[in-house]
Amino acid sequence: MTAAGRKAYNAKTGSNLKAPAPNPKTEKDAARRKSFCARMSGMPGPMKDEKGRPTRKAASLKRWNCK
């Protein structure tokens, strides 16, 4: 989600969505990244679709620098 999208969503719902933390600067962000990678890597589903293109799952793992 873009920064503008996060800002609009947070204003609308009162939540506190944060940007991805692929290169964490704090221990808290490093923990967020580790947790996200563990959760998302365990999700069922392929990394590529039937045409060989990366799925949304693959794209998000790449964006977060998950191994």
Q: How high does pLDDT run on average in the chain?
A: 94
Whole-number Å distance between alpha carbons of 62 and 48: 13
The number of folded domains in the chain is: 1
Task: Give pLDDT tens digits for 14-42.
Answer: 999 998 888 999 999 999 999 999 999 99
pLDDT of residue 9: 96
> Residue 60: is its pLDDT beyond 90?
yes
Mean pLDDT of 34-52: 96
Range of the domain at 42: 3-63
Whole-number Å distance between alpha carbons of 27 and 29: 5
Band (13; pLDDT cuts 50, 70, 90) = very high
Sign of the Cα torsion 24, 64, 32, 17 reads positive
> Residue 67: is its pLDDT beyond 90?
no
